[in-house]
Structure 1
Amino acid sequence: MSDTAPNLSRGELRRYSRQLLLPEFADTQAQLKAACVLVVGAGGLGCPVIAYLAGAGVGKLRIADSDTVSLSNLHRQTLYTTADVGRSKAETAAARAQQVNPHVRVGAVPKLTAENAPVLLSGVNLVVDATDNFTARYLIHDVCTAAGLPWVWGAAGGLSGMVSVFGPALGLRQVFPTPDGAESCDEIGVAGPLLGIVGSVMALEVMKVLTQQPETLAGQLWTYDALSCQVRVMRLRQQNYAGA
């Protein structure tokens, strides 16, 4: 912990003490503190990602979501309460994350577009795709590829979910070149705890990428079936996919 301690206050050392006991993160807290992450989507996946990254001490979080909180969100979007219905998701999530950890800087930013991507991605080390539609997901693929940034991607619906770490060499468009067969939670429903499980895996992958851990889900697809509790990790081979 010698490399980390000079960069952290006494309060931060106490706050992250259990995390710092892990050999994988013992000397990397300064890297998390110096990092800037853009989280696109503050819904069912974004809520656990935002809460855990704030708790872990990621120094700067930017949250992009143009939606407002609705009553039907509350069974799975755990940063919000009944009193938040009608409020901006991005602003509310940012305020809650700031309460989780006053040592980090969390702010709401405008909805990500191709036009404002250079501004929103300025100074960002990694992007989290916690969106729920392929139009937004493909946009994130395109802007991250153009910027040379890695991104952590997740999806969940019904009783199953998946996570991967993408980058310029292999991204969503190569793995899922078309959205054929994709269904939204509005159509098929979703179990609330499933979003917590998938979002937590996404947050851990963010931490691993930011601290340059040797094993991440880059080039792999993690899948989870909530009914059977079966987890599978499949290796993605770039040459097997259209557009590779």
Structure 2
Amino acid sequence: MPLPPLVEPIDALTPREQLRTARHQRLTGLGSEGQRRIAAATVGVVGAGGLGAPVVLALAAAGIGEIVIFDDDDIELSNLQRQVIHRLQDVGRPKTDSVVRVAADMSETRVRVVSTRLTHENAAELITGVDLVLDGTDSFDSREIVAAACERLSLPLVWGTVQEFAGLVTVFWSAPPEGADAVRLHDLYPPGSEAPACSAVGVFGPLCIQAGSMMASEALKLIMGIGKPLLGRIAMIDALAGTVREAPLRAARATASARPAAPEVGEVDEPGAGAVIIDVREADEVATGMIAGADHLPLRELLDSLDEMVGDLKGSDVVVVCQVGARARRAAQALVGRGVNAVVLRGGMDGYNSRRHAA
């Protein structure tokens, strides 16, 4: 069932916006009132990257009243494969510049830029004043900061994540309207969760657009009070299979017993004598240097061949290596779950090289 709309509609659209949004206003259930609610809304968008970019495009095109964009990064050339609001000539400039330009080029949407990095201490104060938040960040530290601020302010949080060929989209809300159950980030991920960064494992560019557009749709539905928002449900996108499935998402106390904990994995600063060293980076990464004696097996190949590997590795001490540690942890957890004594090299090759240089 729809939830109550988040905002009251403005009295009237400008003549230009009235004409520009005509196709929206012909939609049954949206109409003039829904479009005027969109124009009245202020949304916070955290991150102008892979998810934030299509979110900004969709919301500006929809005629959202104001976007408050939170980002302190500059554009890098490698961003352009998936961050569709930036252009080649933007490389080196703040990502927020692209948001300001796109909104001005598409609609009457106002943009307010916040370039201060969000922390647990300042996030709630900086986010205050928006009607909802869309989180497009790519680390658990950032996601927990944003989620905690939204819980403190009782704001709905439209949340998404993408990695490799998979994406997730849902809505968290600690204080939803009567009749709806509260769902929080930690109902999906326990505190302190980790996952490989996109820079480590990659992300399929079109998937960002797909997940970001779903996030924008959820925001608009909440603003207008139409449709069935993804509160209490999570959409799971598989770009390789071309499918979008959903699963229920409820409070952790109801589901924690059903969610198996990831195996604990230890860390070492140096591979021990006689250890089997497995480097799970990609070919272009190992070309820059490997630990002497390490075997190269990219993460995907390792995960696909676990059953064949386990027999040879049992009884050995295994040290798994990647660039910064996230992929190695994923591989080591898979090995430990099959009875292999596996640990990760602390900080990956970056940490290993730093320690050697410091010595």
Find the partner of 1:213 among 193, 208, 226: 226
Residues 40 and 112, structure 1, Cα contact 8 Å, conserved in 2? no
Question: 1:129 is matched with which residue?
Answer: 135
Question: 2:205 is matched with which residue?
Answer: 192
Alpha-carbon distance in 2 for matches of 1:121, 1:4: 22
Question: 1:139 is matched with which residue?
Answer: 145
Post-superposition Cα deviations, 1:106-129, rounded to whole Å, max 9, x if no partner, equal 121133223333432222100010
Find the partner of 1:240 among 238, 246, 255: 255
Using structure 2 for the length normalisation, give the TM-score.
0.64
Question: Given the superposition, is the C-alpha separation of residues 143 and 6 from structure 1 closer, same or farther in structure 2, using an over 3 Å criterion?
Answer: closer
Gaps of 5+ in 2: 1-7, 175-181, 258-359
Alpha-carbon distance in 2 for matches of 1:6, 1:214: 23
**Over aligned residue pairs, what C-alpha RMSD do you find?**
1.8
SS across alignment from 1:241? helix
Alpha-carbon distance in 1 for matches of 2:92, 2:16: 35
Using structure 1 for the length normalisation, give the TM-score.
0.93
Q: Tell me if 1:228 matches 2:250.
A: no
Question: 2:18 is matched with which residue?
Answer: 13
> Which one has a bigger Cα radius of gyration?
2
How high is the sequence identity, in percent, across the aligned residues? 38
Once the two structures are overlaid, the 10-residue window that deviates more, 104-113 or 62-71, is 104-113
Find the partner of 1:100 among 101, 106, 131: 106
Alpha-carbon distance in 2 for matches of 1:116, 1:91: 23
Question: 2:42 is matched with which residue?
Answer: 36
Q: Tell me if 1:201 matches 2:214.
A: yes
Residues 63 and 94, structure 1, Cα contact 8 Å, conserved in 2? no
The amino acid that maps onto 2:138 is D
Q: How many residues matched?
A: 239
Alpha-carbon distance in 1 for matches of 2:88, 2:138: 22
Question: 1:171 is matched with which residue?
Answer: 184
Gaps of 5+ in 1: none
Q: How many Å apart are 1:178 and its aligned residue?
A: 4.1
